[in-house]
Structure 1
Amino acid sequence: MESIKRYFTFVRPYWKLIMATIIIGLFKFGLPLALPLIIMYVIDDLLLADLPGEVKLERLYWIMGLTFIVFTLVRYPIEYYRQYYAQLSSNQILFDIRDKLFSHLQRLSLRYYQNTKVGEVISRVINDVEQTKNFIMTGLMNLWLDLATLLIAIGIMLSMDVKLTLVAIAVFPLYGFSIKYFYQRLRQLTKTRSQALAELQGHLHERIQGIAVVKGFALEDHEQKQFERRNQKFLDKAVDHTVWNAKTFAVTNTITDIAPLLVITYAGYQVVHENLTIGALIAFYAYLERLYSPLRRLVNSSTTLTQSIASMDRMFELFDESYDIRDKLGAMELKEVRGRVVFDQVSFRYRDTGDEVLHNIDLVVEEGQTVALVGMSGGGKSSLISLIPRFYDVSGGAVYLDGHDIRDVTLKSLRSQIGMVLQDNILFSDSIRENILMGNPNATEEDMIEAAKAANAHDFIMPLPDGYGTEIGERGVKLSGGQKQRIAIARVFLKNPRILILDEATSALDLESEQLIQQSLERLAKDRTTFIVAHRLSTITHADKIVLISDGSIREMGTHQELMNAEGAYYKLFTVQHLGSPVTE
């Protein structure tokens, strides 16, 4: 199977550890195979033998004493190292898979995350990867040990009585038929069940994130029904899986119970005709347990492996998600960036078959200029600035930075020169220090504090319980909107990029916070090429160039004064915002 072949690329580095586990396991499973022979010896050669009682006891003490020593002194290290190596190798493999998956997730484009629930991604990285551990433990270790145990047991039984052995293994073909019949369907049911679980987790993740909306609109009863619907879907899939699984176990265990009945019948017949000793009969029956216990585990392993392979399929489906945005072959590293940005006949659509949201945009932004993008919501402003760091690629035309098509340079070197402050900045549930240091993880404590001061954040940070070490909760929930913005600005100060993108960075803030943030943004924008997306036009009158975008096209462009004098769309927007009192500079 393709998934198993691909999985072995992660297994291969640890093959020596896995082989050591199997070899040690052979001793673990091999030792108990001596017990039925010991039982046969004790019954036939001691208890039923015509020997003095003292001799019987002496021999009994010797054989059991040696057995006791072997099982107590040897069994412990065998059991310990087998478990240790098995867990060590399997956990190392899972570590490598999750590590590579996380690297893959970071390279997927924003388009993927806009179309996929976060909970589904988490389910594949955590649940499905963990489920594949059973493939290592069962398929790569226990399966071979059980198979070896089975063959050794059959070998010993054949040496004792060939006909009786053939009777004992007569039901084996029925096992093969049941496995072939049941497990293909079980794999599909397992995959469907895992998908339903992922959907449930995705829904739960969204609702927990938006719990304030649920409470604010008193939607608890509605959301309970929504959750119950998805929970019921998962239950239905889980029950379908359980029903088929139960049928599998019912059939295989029934087959298992037939074999001892056949053996007892035939062995009893042989004992009556004195073709078999009582000790041999008892030993043979004991070997049946050694024979069918690993066989049961092999059958159960088929169920476990089926589930693991279904999880592998889902895991590799995630691995196979293609990168919309990637470095082209031979992409160059940006060295010293001046900051001249040119949009040349740029068109853009979010999906290959979707409508264009930007049409033939021509815009030149010189080094160090501040450009404001204005217009009604949905006009294409945010879409335009998302092309600069290559969150998306243009559908037509090109974006140039210092004369280089940004598709010809490496993503890392491009994005390292761009700083962004958004309306809703993402902060992580770490300390304030860690969130600011994301701008430059290698910065010194002094540089980090200077960045916070430049962002007007230092004064509110210091009175906090642990100062810069204060944990701010998920998405910065313990901070006000203005405080979160200033942390985000401090992060960009620390990054010190040549190009700055401000997307509604001061909207929805109180007057005092807006003034503080506006001061820090002006300080941040100095000597940098700056793009500002704003609805509040009074905040961008200082811009070197104002671009009005409507329906994906540039309608007007100029300074604030030039556009006001033209009395076009910009003039009307500005006038409406200032209640009929145009403000000019």
Structure 2
Amino acid sequence: MKVFKKFIKYYKPYKFLFFTDMFCALIVSLVDLSFPIILSYLSKNFFMKNREVVLRGIIYIGIGLAVMYIVKYFCQYFIASWGHVMGAKMETDMRQDLFYHLQMLPFSYYDENNTGEMMSKLVSDLFDISELAHHGPENIFISALKILGSFVILLMINVKMTLILMLVTVFMVIFSVNKNRKMQKIFFDNRKKIASVNSSVQDSLEGIRVVKSFANEAVEQKKFDASNNNYLKSKVKSYKAMGQFIAGNSLFQGMLYLSIIVSGAVFIKQGTLKISDLAVYALYINIFINPIDVLINFMEQFQKGYAGFKRFIEVIETKPNIIDKPNAEELKNVKGNIEFKNVCFRYDETHEVIHNFNIKIEKGKTVAFVGPSGGGKTTICSLLPRFYDVTEGAITIDGKDIREVTLNSLRNAIGVVQQDVYIFSGTIRDNIAYGKYGATEEEIIEAAKGANIHDYIMSLEDGYDTFVGERGVKLSGGQKQRISIARVFLKNPPILILDEATSALDNESERYIQKSLEKLSHGRTSIVIAHRLSTIRNADEIIVIKDRGIKEKGNHEELLKREGVYYYYYNMQFDGLEA
């Protein structure tokens, strides 16, 4: 019932379409139910009259029947077209809800879940839900009307024969319910297995350059075959279950016909049933059985849609753990004074990354973090824009706890330049403009000049309209990095985080980008993570982070004089590399 209530709410914006669809379904059912009654009445009463009356009356009867079937045509058209439109609109609403919710979920959710599986929920699952949303109420309503209506009429023709029919139908329902329960689990497993296939494809295609560089096509094929064959096994199970379900119901339908023939023969011989009534009874048996056929065929669609909606609900009910407090304030007029107070952070109960971390960064100053990989430098920087929340302690900007301000205003105040730059498929203009929605052409060009990439862009045939390909495949590492810096120039934030922004570049690109970063950092509070110590010599303070905390801090000259950890790293990079 909980799942059903959540499903029903998506019908609310389309009540008119839904009730019109149900009304049309009612008309279609009444037309189908009325024909045997009309035929029975005509054969018993009207056709027995004299020739002139029959010939004169049949014209009006024909016109009446034609009107009836024309009305049915328009109702059927509405069901087939606008009923599907309603389902498509509901699918769109669900996809929007799912996508918006995925945007709200924290980094920790994406650490645990695969993009391919999310795509499966956004596309294939929601299509099955859309089909269920349209066909579900309509099929159930029409089938229920026909079964109930034909059953009442069958009772009026012969009670005893109808009770026999009812007994066989009860066994049929019991069989269907039991099989349906088993199919639920199988179809839910189907959704998981196809999501695994999508995940395998997405992972392999995104890393296609790595795959080819290692000549590992065969390895990827084996991985894909494993997930593909698991999906096949799950589909085989589902089709076997469906086969048993359909074949079992077909057997019961045969039993229905058998019971009618046997009991009909007995009742005719007893004189309690007329042969003409048996003919009408046979017509209604078809009307009684056809909706059962519809419901049987609908079960596969129902199971797919139900399994898809349950997976949809699982995501929608995942609560984002990083959200605005009810009384959160906007972070305005940011000066850039940052303080970490006794900050601890762990990804899970056993893995503490940061322990009792304390630093103050004054506005406009540049602080650099250095140390071994895995020491927690990037994690510390991820805590500032609340990509993750601190486990203990607090982080403040201008004296305000970052958990007390809105996420939007906090992240608008912080610009991040990462080592792993993400370039969106589209033009260079689109990618730079991502830093400020609605930026003017002049602002985009100014940002590109600030990042030292304007001249390169203008050397291209299409200039700022140059298509960069998926993930910026047509650009070099240095060009991508400068575009990401141009984004931040456009954003113009008071606080800057540079996460190993030059570590993957050649010396010439690094020189260009270092100039861009120095220009970008001017007048801003900057936190720099660097492995290349040459890039941070001019930092106001250098903090060496190792084993969950601070080992030493000071400026470049002070740390070299101490001959501690920083001195060791510096000599490793510049003096003692060969040794």
Q: TM-score, normalised by structure 1?
A: 0.93
Of 314, 325, 330 in structure 2, the residue corresponding to residue 328 of structure 1 is 325
- Structure 2 unmatched ranges of 5 or more: none
Measure, in 2, the Cα distance between the counterparts of 1:4 and 1:20.
Answer: 21
Residue number in structure 1 paired with 2:355: 359
Of 67, 79, 98 in structure 1, the residue corresponding to residue 65 of structure 2 is 67
Of 277, 281, 292 in structure 2, the residue corresponding to residue 295 of structure 1 is 292
SS at match of 1:462: helix
Distance verdict in 2 for CA 1:277–1:57, change over 3 Å: farther
Measure, in 2, the Cα distance between the counterparts of 1:30 and 1:46.
Answer: 22
Measure, in 2, the Cα distance between the counterparts of 1:472 and 1:26.
Answer: 55
1:222 positional shift:
2.0
1:570 positional shift:
1.3
Q: How does 1:489-568 map to 2 (within 5 A)?
A: 489-568=485-564
Measure, in 1, the Cα distance between the counterparts of 2:464 and 2:291.
Answer: 59
Measure, in 1, the Cα distance between the counterparts of 2:352 and 2:256.
Answer: 70
1:6 and 2:6 equivalent? yes
**Deviation string, structure 1 residues 123-150 (Cα, Å, up to 9, x no partner):** 2222222222243223322211211122
SS at match of 2:354: strand
Residue number in structure 1 paired with 2:466: 470
Q: How does 1:38-117 map to 2 (within 5 A)?
A: 38-41=38-41, 43-44=43-44, 49=48, 51-52=50-51, 56-71=54-69, 73-117=70-114
1:83 positional shift:
2.7
Give the conservation status (yes or no) of the 8 Å contact 1:4–1:309. Answer: no
1:460 positional shift:
2.2
Equivalent AA in structure 2 for residue 355 of structure 1: H
Give the conservation status (yes or no) of the 8 Å contact 1:18–1:141. Answer: no
1:534 positional shift:
0.8
Give the conservation status (yes or no) of the 8 Å contact 2:25–2:141. Answer: no
Give the conservation status (yes or no) of the 8 Å contact 2:539–2:556. Answer: yes
**Deviation string, structure 1 residues 246-304 (Cα, Å, up to 9, x no partner):** 11111111111221232233335555676555543333212111111112222333443
Give the conservation status (yes or no) of the 8 Å contact 2:499–2:528. Answer: yes
Measure, in 2, the Cα distance between the counterparts of 1:95 and 1:220.
Answer: 37
Measure, in 1, the Cα distance between the counterparts of 2:434 and 2:351.
Answer: 36
**Deviation string, structure 1 residues 26-49 (Cα, Å, up to 9, x no partner):** 1122212222234435555577x4
Measure, in 1, the Cα distance between the counterparts of 2:59 and 2:282.
Answer: 24
**C-alpha RMSD of the superposition:** 2.2
Residue number in structure 2 paired with 1:143: 140
- Larger displacement relative to structure 2 (446-455 or 363-372): 446-455
Measure, in 2, the Cα distance between the counterparts of 1:251 and 1:324.
Answer: 49
Measure, in 2, the Cα distance between the counterparts of 1:303 and 1:460.
Answer: 57
Equivalent AA in structure 2 for residue 221 of structure 1: A
1:218 positional shift:
1.5
Give the conservation status (yes or no) of the 8 Å contact 1:183–1:303. Answer: no
- Larger displacement relative to structure 2 (319-328 or 209-218): 319-328
**Deviation string, structure 1 residues 200-226 (Cα, Å, up to 9, x no partner):** 211221111111121111112222222
Give the conservation status (yes or no) of the 8 Å contact 2:200–2:223. Answer: no
Distance verdict in 2 for CA 1:148–1:174, change over 3 Å: same
Equivalent AA in structure 1 for residue 239 of structure 2: T
1:307 positional shift:
3.0
Q: How does 1:273-422 map to 2 (within 5 A)?
A: 276-351=273-348, 353-422=349-418
Measure, in 2, the Cα distance between the counterparts of 1:512 and 1:70.
Answer: 82
Residue number in structure 2 paired with 1:160: 157
Measure, in 2, the Cα distance between the counterparts of 1:536 and 1:497.
Answer: 25
Measure, in 2, the Cα distance between the counterparts of 1:138 and 1:580.
Answer: 73
Equivalent AA in structure 2 for residue 433 of structure 1: R
Give the conservation status (yes or no) of the 8 Å contact 2:186–2:234. Answer: yes
- Larger displacement relative to structure 2 (197-206 or 523-532): 197-206
Residue number in structure 2 paired with 1:487: 483
Of 432, 437, 443 in structure 2, the residue corresponding to residue 441 of structure 1 is 437
Residue number in structure 2 paired with 1:16: 16
Measure, in 1, the Cα distance between the counterparts of 2:482 and 2:261.
Answer: 82
SS at match of 2:385: coil
1:388 positional shift:
0.7
Give the conservation status (yes or no) of the 8 Å contact 2:24–2:78. Answer: yes
Give the conservation status (yes or no) of the 8 Å contact 1:428–1:476. Answer: yes
Give the conservation status (yes or no) of the 8 Å contact 1:357–1:552. Answer: yes
1:464 positional shift:
3.4
**Deviation string, structure 1 residues 351-386 (Cα, Å, up to 9, x no partner):** 1x1222222222111101111111122221111111
SS at match of 2:575: coil
SS at match of 2:167: coil
Measure, in 2, the Cα distance between the counterparts of 1:156 and 1:196.
Answer: 47
- Structure 1 unmatched ranges of 5 or more: none
Distance verdict in 2 for CA 1:70–1:8, change over 3 Å: closer
Measure, in 1, the Cα distance between the counterparts of 2:160 and 2:79.
Answer: 36
1:497 positional shift:
0.5
SS at match of 2:25: helix
Give the conservation status (yes or no) of the 8 Å contact 2:86–2:134. Answer: no
1:159 positional shift:
3.3
Measure, in 1, the Cα distance between the counterparts of 2:323 and 2:501.
Answer: 28
1:457 and 2:453 equivalent? yes
Give the conservation status (yes or no) of the 8 Å contact 1:41–1:279. Answer: no
Residue number in structure 1 paired with 2:30: 30
**Deviation string, structure 1 residues 292-327 (Cα, Å, up to 9, x no partner):** 111222233344323322222211111222323222
1:465 positional shift:
4.4
Distance verdict in 2 for CA 1:338–1:270, change over 3 Å: same
Q: TM-score, normalised by structure 2?
A: 0.94
Equivalent AA in structure 2 for residue 571 of structure 1: Y
SS at match of 2:478: helix
Measure, in 2, the Cα distance between the counterparts of 1:496 and 1:552.
Answer: 32
Measure, in 1, the Cα distance between the counterparts of 2:308 and 2:200.
Answer: 20
